[in-house]
Chain A
Amino acid sequence: MFRRLVQKLRLGVSSLMLHKLRSALAVLGILIGVTAVIWLVALGEGVSYQAQQQIKDLGATNIIIRSVKPPQESSRAGGSFFIEYGLLREDYERILANVPTIRRAVPMRELVREVRRMDRVLDAKVVGCTADYFALNHLSLVRGRFLADLDDEQLENVAVLGHKTAAVLFPYEDPIGQTVQIGADFYVVVGQTAERTASAAIGGSLEAREYDTDVYIPLSTLRWRIGDMVVTSRSGSREGEIVQLSQITATVQDLDEVDPTADVIRTLLEKYHKVADYAVVVPKELLRQAEMLRMLFNVLLILIAGISLLVGGIGIMNIMLATVTERTREIGVRRALGATRQDIILQFLSETVVLTGMGGLLGVALGFLCKPAVIAIRWGMQRILPDVMATLPANIRNLEPRITLWSIVVAFAISMVVGVVFGLYPARRAAYMDPIEALRHE
C-alpha cells in the first residue's frame, strides 16, 4: 500500500517535471498565498505581542486611576487663571479606607521639569513616588538603590535617575553620590534604573508610557519642594494647573476582584468629583480588548489568505484541466491496461497535491524569511527615508515579527486541501472519460 503511494507520488513528480515552467507558474499562486499567510500572521502576532506585553506590564490585578484634564472652558484672553483638577490626596485616603479589597495603593505625581547637572540640561519627567512604585512598574536597577520609605517620611532630597536621564546628565561618570538640580533645589543621586521598554498607553493619551527619561524623587519631597502647581507661560498669558496626584495604582489580591473593585472606586470618586477629571483604567480590560482585536485581525488575515489561495487553486485547476485534455490518450491506455476510475483519480489527484504541496513547502520556506525581510526593509527605510521612519509609531518601528507554528500548519494544510479540492474535478473528468474515445483521441 505504502509502496503504491510512493509510486503514485513519484509518477506525479515525473509528470510535473515534463512541464517545469508550467508547473512552476501554476504553483506560484499557492506559494504566494502560503507565504502571505505566514508573514501577515507573524507581523500581526508581533504587533499584538508587543501590545500585550505592554498591557501586562501594567499588571492584570491593577486598577489605574489617573487624573485627566477636563475639557476647558473658552480660555480668557490675556490675564492669568488657574485650573484645579484631578485626584486629590483625600481621594487616596478615601480609597484606601473604604475599599477593603485593595491590598496596596500607590500614589504618584509626575510633571516635566528641567533637570540640570553643571552645564547639562534635560527636560525630564519628574516622578514623585514611594518605594512601592519600583516593584509596581517592574523597574530594575543598574546602580545604587531605589527610594525608600524613610526618604519619603524625612522629605529627603534624593533622586533615582532613569536610564536615559543618567546617560545625558552623566555621560562619563558614575552618577551615584553626585547632585542634580531640579528647579532651585539640589538632589543627591542614589540610584539608576535599567533600560525599560515603554508600556501601553493609558488614560486616553496615545503616547506609550516611557520610563527612560524619568527622575524619581520621594512624593512628599516633591510636594514640599515643587508643590502642586505647575505654571506654564504662553504669549501674553500665564496658565496654572493645580494637580495633587497624577495617578493612583491600586492592586487587588485576585483577578476576579478587579472588575467589582473598579466599580466601587468609580462610585466612590463620582461622589466627590463634579466633573470627570479622572479616569479608571483596568489593564485586564485592555488585555481583553487587545485579544479581541487580535482575533479580529487573524480572522481578517485568514479571509485574505483564503481568497489568495482560492485564486491559486483556480489556477491549479486550470492547469490540471489542460493536462488532462493533453493526456487523454494516456488515460485511455491506462484504462485499457486495467486502471480503474479510482486509479486515474488518484493519479491526477496525487499530481495536483504534489504540485500544491511543493508550493506550500516553498511558501513555508519563504515564510521563514519574514524576520530577515523586515530587518532588511527597516534598514533600507532608515537609509533612504529616515524622516519617514521617525514619524512612524514606535510599535511599528520596533516591530518584531513572530512566526507562529499554527500559521505554518494552517497555511500548509490549506495548500494541501486546495490541491485536493481543486484537483478533484479535473481528476474525475479524467476518470470518467470513455476509454474507447480516449484511445481514439489525437
Chain B
Amino acid sequence: MSNASSPAAATGRKCVARIVQLRKTYRLGNGLEVHALRGVSLDFQEGDFVAIMGASGSGKSTLLNLLGCLDHPTSGQYFLAGRDVSRLDDRALSSIRSRYIGFIFQSYNLIPQLTVIENIQVPLSYQRRETPGGRERAIRLARLVGLGDRLHHRPAELSGGQQQRVAIARSIINNPHIILADEPTGNLDSATGAEIMDLLEALNRAGRTIIMVTHEPDVAARAHRIVRLRDGRIADISNNTPLPAS
C-alpha cells in the first residue's frame, strides 16, 4: 500500500473498493509475456470520483476490466463490497457485476432492439431476485437524466448524447457500489460531453462513486482525484478537489 493514497483517514468515509498489488500478465501465443499491470494498489471511498489517465498501453483498460469484474488478475486482491472477488468463478462474478457495478461505455452500448425503458431495466433482469417496481424506477431514472419524453424510443432514434444519458440511467438502476465509465465523452462533441460530465458530477454529488477512464485533461479535471498510469504502474496521483466531508 506504499503508493496508494488513503484519504479515507482524512474524510472518515467508507471504503467501497480496494485493490491490492494487482498484477495482470497476458501470455501471448509465441511465449512472450506482456505485463499490463505490475502491481497496482488503490482505495476508492464512497462518493469518490476518480479519473484514470495514461497513454495507450499504460494498463488503464486492463485496470478498468479488472475493476469491472470482467477479468481475473494474475495476482493481487480486489475487495468489493467487503469481500475478495479476485478469485471468484464466472457465475459469481456475473452476480457481482449485476449487483455492485454500473457500466458506462464510450460507444453507449445500448441494445438496439430494446426501447429506452427496456434498456434501462436490462441489469435488473439479471439479478437473481425479482425487483418489484423496476419499471417505475426505470421511468424515474429516465426523467432524471432528462429523457422523460423519449421512453419508448429505440436507440437508433436518439442522438449520441441522449444515448449516453440512457446508458447512465442504466448504470445506476441497480444501485451499484461503483460506476465504471470508459471514456464516457469520447464519442461526443465538447458541448454534449460537458453536459454528460455535468450529469456525472451531479450523480457524484448525490453520493455515487465513479471511476472514469479518460485521456482528455479537461474531462479528468472534473474528478476529485486523477490517477496516472505508466507501464502498468501508478505514476502519479493528484488530488484535484478535496472530497467533501461526509
Which A residues are closer than 8 A to B by beta carbons?
Answer: 3-4, 7, 14-15, 18, 329-330, 332-343, 435-436, 439
List 5 other contacts, CB 8 Å, given A339-B94, A340-B90, A341-B90.
Answer: A333-B105, A338-B123, A339-B126, A341-B91, A343-B94
For B90, what are the chain A residues with a Cβ–Cβ distance below 8 Å?
Answer: 340-341
**Among B68, B91, B95, B127, contact of A336 (Cβ-Cβ < 8 Å):** B68
- Does B65 have its Cβ within 8 Å of any Cβ on chain A? yes
A337 lies within 8 A of B98 (CB): yes
With A340-B91, A436-B71 already in contact, the answer to whether A333 and B97 are too (CB < 8 A) is: no
Closest Cβ neighbor of B71 among chain A residues: A436
For A436, what are the chain B residues with a Cβ–Cβ distance below 8 Å?
Answer: 65, 70-71
A333 lies within 8 A of B127 (CB): no
Interface core residue of A14, A329, A337 (most chain B CB under 10 Å): A337
- Does B109 have its Cβ within 8 Å of any Cβ on chain A? yes
Q: How far is the CB of A363 from chain B (nearest CB, A)?
A: 27
With A14-B113, A15-B113 already in contact, the answer to whether A340 and B94 are too (CB < 8 A) is: yes
CA distance A337 to B114 in the complex (A): 15
**Among A14, A18, A333, A340, contact of B109 (Cβ-Cβ < 8 Å):** A333
Q: Quick one: which of B87-109 are within 8 Å of A by CB?
A: 90-91, 94-95, 97-99, 103, 105, 109
For B71, what are the chain A residues with a Cβ–Cβ distance below 8 Å?
Answer: 436
Q: How far is the CB of A319 from chain B (nearest CB, A)?
A: 16
For A4, what are the chain B residues with a Cβ–Cβ distance below 8 Å?
Answer: 125
CA distance A15 to B71 in the complex (A): 29
Sample of 22 A–B contacts (CB below 8 Å):
A4-B125, A7-B125, A14-B113, A15-B113, A329-B109, A330-B112, A333-B105, A333-B122, A336-B70, A337-B97, A337-B98, A338-B95, A338-B99, A338-B127, A339-B126, A340-B94, A341-B94, A342-B91, A343-B94, A436-B65, A436-B70, A439-B109
B98 lies within 8 A of A439 (CB): no
For B122, what are the chain A residues with a Cβ–Cβ distance below 8 Å?
Answer: 333-334, 337
A337 lies within 8 A of B103 (CB): yes
Closest Cβ neighbor of B64 among chain A residues: A436
Q: How far is the CB of B103 from chain A (nearest CB, A)?
A: 5
Closest Cβ neighbor of B126 among chain A residues: A338
- Contact pattern, B 127-142, Cβ under 8 Å of A = 1, otherwise 0: 1001000000000000
CA distance A435 to B69 in the complex (A): 10
Total inter-chain residue pairs, C-beta < 8 Å: 62
User: Do most interface residues of chain A lie in helix, strand or loop, or is the interface mixed?
Assistant: helix
B123 lies within 8 A of A337 (CB): yes
**Interface residue tally of chain B, by bracket?**
20 to 34
Closest Cβ neighbor of B182 among chain A residues: A439
- Does B1 have its Cβ within 8 Å of any Cβ on chain A? no
B113 lies within 8 A of A336 (CB): no
For A329, what are the chain B residues with a Cβ–Cβ distance below 8 Å?
Answer: 109
Closest Cβ neighbor of A4 among chain B residues: B125
- Does B55 have its Cβ within 8 Å of any Cβ on chain A? no
Closest Cβ neighbor of B173 among chain A residues: A337
CA distance A332 to B94 in the complex (A): 12
Which B residues are closer than 8 A to A by beta carbons?
Answer: 65, 68, 70-71, 90-91, 94-95, 97-99, 103, 105, 109, 111-114, 122-123, 125-127, 130, 170, 174
For B68, what are the chain A residues with a Cβ–Cβ distance below 8 Å?
Answer: 336
With A334-B126, A436-B70 already in contact, the answer to whether A340 and B111 are too (CB < 8 A) is: no
With A435-B70, A436-B65, A439-B105 already in contact, the answer to whether A337 and B113 are too (CB < 8 A) is: no
With A436-B65, A439-B105, A439-B109 already in contact, the answer to whether A338 and B70 are too (CB < 8 A) is: no
B111 lies within 8 A of A330 (CB): yes
For A335, what are the chain B residues with a Cβ–Cβ distance below 8 Å?
Answer: 70, 94, 97
For A342, what are the chain B residues with a Cβ–Cβ distance below 8 Å?
Answer: 91
Q: Which 4 A-B pairs rank lowest in CB-CB distance, beginning with the nearest?
A: A338-B98, A338-B126, A340-B94, A333-B109
Q: How far is the CB of A320 from chain B (nearest CB, A)?
A: 16
CA distance A14 to B122 in the complex (A): 15
For B123, what are the chain A residues with a Cβ–Cβ distance below 8 Å?
Answer: 337-338
For A336, what are the chain B residues with a Cβ–Cβ distance below 8 Å?
Answer: 68, 70, 97, 103
CA distance A341 to B89 in the complex (A): 11
With A333-B109, A436-B70, A436-B71 already in contact, the answer to whether A340 and B95 are too (CB < 8 A) is: yes
Q: How far is the CB of B224 from chain A (nearest CB, A)?
A: 25
For B127, what are the chain A residues with a Cβ–Cβ distance below 8 Å?
Answer: 338
CA distance A342 to B99 in the complex (A): 17
Closest Cβ neighbor of A342 among chain B residues: B91
For B95, what are the chain A residues with a Cβ–Cβ distance below 8 Å?
Answer: 338, 340
CA distance A4 to B126 in the complex (A): 10
For A330, what are the chain B residues with a Cβ–Cβ distance below 8 Å?
Answer: 111-112
For A439, what are the chain B residues with a Cβ–Cβ distance below 8 Å?
Answer: 70, 105, 109
CA distance A15 to B94 in the complex (A): 23
Q: How far is the CB of B159 from chain A (nearest CB, A)?
A: 20
Q: How far is the CB of B109 from chain A (nearest CB, A)?
A: 5
For B109, what are the chain A residues with a Cβ–Cβ distance below 8 Å?
Answer: 329, 332-333, 439
Closest Cβ neighbor of B61 among chain A residues: A436
Q: How far is the CB of A271 from chain B (nearest CB, A)?
A: 84
For B70, what are the chain A residues with a Cβ–Cβ distance below 8 Å?
Answer: 335-336, 435-436, 439
For A18, what are the chain B residues with a Cβ–Cβ distance below 8 Å?
Answer: 113
Q: How far is the CB of B169 from chain A (nearest CB, A)?
A: 13
CA distance A7 to B122 in the complex (A): 11
Interface core residue of A15, A330, A333, A436 (most chain B CB under 10 Å): A333
Q: How far is the CB of A336 from chain B (nearest CB, A)?
A: 5
Q: How far is the CB of B242 from chain A (nearest CB, A)?
A: 32
Q: How far is the CB of A17 from chain B (nearest CB, A)?
A: 8
